[in-house]
Amino acid sequence: MQSTLKTNKHEKAINAEVQNNTRIAAQVFDEYGNEIREMISFRVNDQSIVDDIYQDLFVSLVHRPIPPGTQNVKGYLRTAIKNDVLDEIFRTKSYHTRNRRYVEMHTEQVKFLDPEDAAILSEEIQKLLSIIERRLMPHEREAVIQRYRLNRNNNEAAEAMHIDRRSFSHYLCTGLKKVRRFARQSEKCSKGICHA
C-alpha cells in the first residue's frame, strides 16, 4: 500500500514536471518560433525536414528544458538546433543505409532464383503492375510509377509530377493502400474466395 502511494506521488511529480516543461517550451516557441524555423531552414539542405526538426526541438526542450538563468537563449537554441539537425542527418543516413543493404540483399536473392520461382515472381509483379494500371487514379498511378518503377525519391518524383512533396506523399500512400487491398482481393479470388 505504501509503495503504491509512493508510486502515485512519483507519477504525479513527473506529470507536473512534464506539464511545467511543456508550458516553458511553449513560451519559448511563442517568443522565438519564427527565429527557430529560420535557424533550422538555414542549416538544412532538404526543406521538407524543417517541420520534423522543429517538432523534435520542441520535444527535446520538454525533456531537457533551457536551464534557468540562461542569458543567451538564442545561442542555446542555435546549439540545440545544430545538434537536432545533426541527429536528423545521421538518422536519415542510417535509414538509407539500411534500405540500400536490404535492396542489395534482396537483389542478390533474386539472382539465385531457380527458373520456376523467377517465373512466379515475374507473374506476381505483372499482377501488381496490372492493378496499378487498371485500378488506381491517374495521380496515384503516376506516384507509384515514379517512386518504384523509375526509382525516384519523393522530392524528385514530386518535382517530376509538378506537385508539392506533401501531395506526392498522399498520392503514393493512397495508391499503395489500394494496391495492397486489390492484391489481397486478387489473392482471395485466385483461391476461390471472391466476394461480389
Q: Cα(145)–Cα(154) distance, rounded to whole angstroms? A: 12
**144 burial via Cβ count (<10 Å: 0-12, 13-18, 19+):** buried
pLDDT class of 48 with cuts at 50, 70, 90: confident
- Cα–Cα distance list, 40 to 10, 34, 45, 146 (Å): 36, 10, 10, 29
Mean pLDDT of the chain: 79
pLDDT class of 24 with cuts at 50, 70, 90: confident
Q: 85-94, 115-124, 172-181: which has the highest mean pLDDT?
A: 172-181
Question: Which domains, ranges and CATH numbers included, belong to the chain?
Answer: 2-94 (1.10.1740), 113-190 (1.10.10.10)
DSSP character at residue 45: S
Angle formed at CA 155 by CA 154 and CA 156, multiple of 5 degrees: 95
Q: What is the pLDDT of residues 118-172, one digit of tens each?
A: 677 677 777 777 778 888 899 998 998 888 778 888 889 899 999 998 999 899 8
